[in-house]
Structure formats: C-alpha cells, structure tokens
Amino acid sequence: MATWQLTTGMMSLLLMVLLSTLATVTTQAQTKAEADSAYQQGNYQQAIVLYEQMLQKGVSADLYYNLGNAYYRTEDITHAVLNYERALLLSPGDADIRFNLQMARSKTIDKITPESEMFFVTWYRSLAGLMSVDAWARTALAMLALAIVLALLYLFASPVWMRKVGFFGALFMIVGFLLGNVLAWQQKREFTQRHGAIVTSSVANVKSTPATTGTDLFILHEGTRVDITDGTMKQWKRVRVADGKEGWIEAQMIETI
C-alpha cells in the first residue's frame, strides 16, 4: 500500500510539473504571437514591451533579434544595436542578424575604422563566429564519431586503399575534433565574459583617469560599441574602441552586451 501511494504521489507530481510546463510554453507562445502581431501591425512600442517581458523569462537570439527590429523601427538605433549584438552573441552565424546590425551601425554617429590585425587572427575570429557554442560542440562530437569509424576501417579493412583512407581520415577528424572544441571554448568565453558594451548616452566623454576631473581624451556617441578592459570599479569602466583608443568612461553611460 505504501509503495502504491508513493507511486501515485510521484505520478501526480510529474503530472503537475508537465501541466505547469505546458502552460508556461503555451503562455510564452501566445505572448510571442501577440508581440509578432503588434510588430506586423506597426505597434512597435507594444511589441517592445512584450518582447522585453519574454526576455525576462528566458533569452534567445530570436527574441533579441525581433526586439532589435522593433527598436530600429522606432528610430531607437542605440537599443537596436544593443539587441542585435546580444542576438549575435547567441547566434554568431546568423546572416540576418549581421546584416541588420550593420544597417543599424551605419546610422550611428561615430564611424570608427578598426585597427589592423594579423590575417590569421581575423581568420580565427571569422571561423569561430560561423557557429554558436552548441553547434561547434555538436560538430566536434560528430567528428569524433567519424574518427572512431575511420579508425575501425583502418584496423579491420583488407584493401590497402581503404586502410589508407581510414588512417588519414581518422587523423583529419581528430584534428577537426580538437579544433571544434577550441572554437566552442572561444564562443563560450565570448558569451560568459561579456566584455562588449554599447554607449547609451547621447554624448560620452572618455577620460584619462576614472574621475570627472580627468582630461578628456575623446568623445563617443550613442550606439558605438566598446570593449571593457577594466571593469573592477563600480562607477567607471576602462574601455577600448575598435580603432585602439582607450580611456575611462562612466559606467552609467554604457550598457553591457
């Protein structure tokens, strides 16, 4: 009898969890449908509110992308850039996100030419940005599985050409497996450390020291991306612009991607 009661109680608990999950998913689907409908009807402010509410419950590249589109339609280019950047962080290989981000950046005031870097660094960054963390991890696992199959082919196949295919193919897949793990680590590092930020103040004076009395080094405008190089202070952050210039900016003038 005790076992039956325990089993019945567990079934009831599982049923409650399942119903709760289904209700949450249904509610989120309804909210997204409402947000999408508001956007399509031109009610961009309502869409922004709904997308923001959904993001408080869980982030996704799709929601950030849609929110960025809604902000772009309201001519709030700064928050459009911010949300496109967040979407790209979750889905770095998405061509639509990259295109819209470039469109939004073209409407910002600061036109910054990135400093040159070694070609292999550019190549590495581009390669890492082709896929997300999960996609690179899945690719690495697939290559490991293929490496095992090819190794078995090398060990047990009779024809010499098949053994050669198995040997060199396995080596290639192992290299791909290692590279995939490195790129997955790189993307995870980009996502977890979050050094990027967007200037949200209309005008921001970048100082030589973390104080209002510091010398003004240069000026940035809203929508410009910076990278935080020193975030240990609460009121001030040391930032670096794409062209290599660095300085201190008030924390309230930027928002982390």
Q: Which domain holds residue 149?
A: 119-193
Say what the pLDDT of residue 10 is.
61
- 6 and 78: one domain? yes
Residue 113 domain-assigned (yes or no): no
The segments of the chain whose pLDDT lies below 70 read 1-29
- Token duo for residue 235: 């009121």
Say what the pLDDT of residue 23 is.
47
User: pLDDT tens digits, residue range 24-64?
Assistant: 545 566 788 899 999 999 999 999 999 999 999 889 999 99
- Structural domains in the chain (count): 3
Residue 176 domain-assigned (yes or no): yes
Domain CATH number, residue 13? 1.25.40.10
- 188 and 203: one domain? no
Residue 112 domain-assigned (yes or no): no
pTM of the predicted protein model: 0.77
